[in-house]
Amino acid sequence: MTHSELSISERRELASLKHRHIPISQIANRLGRHRSTIYREIDRNSFQDKDMPDYDGYHCVLAHAKAQDRRKKQRKLIQIPKLLVAVIEQLKTGWTPEQIAGRLKHENAPHQVSHETIYAYVYSDEGHALSLAQYLPMRRKKRRPRYSRRSKNYIFPLERSIKQRPPSIQSRVDFGDWEGDLMIFQKILGQTNIAAIVERKTRYAVLLKNDDRKSKPLMKKLVNVFSHLPFKARKSITFDRGFEFVAWRYLEAEMDTQSWFCDPSAPWQKGSVENFNKRARRYLPRDLDLHALPYSSLREINQKMNDTPRKCLGYRTPQEVFREELMKLQ
């Protein structure tokens, strides 16, 4: 078992704390885990059944069973020592995991294993202890998940296109899907800017002041602000393809929030935040010197816009609707 795998006792405590509505950050501290680990555990191992919705939720025994089932294939080599010995011997002779798995299938061996299982073992703690990675043609520090391997230069992959975004986001049926953009000011005033993040269903907005347009600091700031929210309140953020958002993978790694991207030169596809920016320019014109704008003033502007009734919300305010949606998650 690797260090990232929760034990049954940890899952039991997690279920108890979650049932008492303890914040995820506090649960993470109690368990000595990163909060993203807790979010991922709840998301992957919670029970859901359309026929029994009353029983939906996180249950420690069921969660542990789901996790164990997921790890069965990876443990196959450990469970069958003869197969493990044969695989290691073939690795040492220079065979690739694909060749080993293919040969076992060709020989109709009584015990077979996929090349992905072999790779998983090579990069596991047991595999590292045996230095098995040295026998691979191409070595990495760790094995990347099969469906996340992509070119380093492929900054905005096709699978993250707005065209692949779930219909529920487009229809604004679900709560927790956001749009993000940068409000840029005159160059003569420096690189300071304001990030505007707007929740699509409630039109609730968050304004963040940035010293420059570097992507990683912006993503870290988003994590600091949004990670305290329940996962279902920050499921996704849609950006345009500006270089300010190239570090989008950091969001998913830290808090499991997915990122989606507009088509090239089509910022209008994230209409909620574009509309918000137009209205915000009344208080944040392009010739405003942000260096002279205190954070308290920015918060006041943010609050004022969230407290303004919107026709699209039945003349309720974004603040009111946002609070209602949060209450539903409790």
For residue 196, the cross-strand partners are 181, 207
CA 185-186-192 angle, to 5 degrees, is: 50
pLDDT 10s digits, 130-185: 888 888 876 555 555 554 444 433 688 888 999 999 988 999 999 999 999 999 99
Q: Please answer whether residues 305 and 199 qualify as being in contact, where contact means their C-beta atoms are separated by less than 8 angstroms.
A: no
pTM above 0.75, yes or no: no
Give the C-alpha separation, 209 to 270, whole Å: 20
Which residue has tokens 């992509």? 150
pLDDT > 70? residue 74: no
pLDDT at 60 over 90: no
Q: Which residue has the higher pLDDT, 120 or 296?
A: 296
Yes or no: say if 168 and 235 are a contact pair by the CB < 8 Å rule. Answer: no
Lowest average pLDDT, out of 111-125, 246-260, 284-298, goes to 111-125
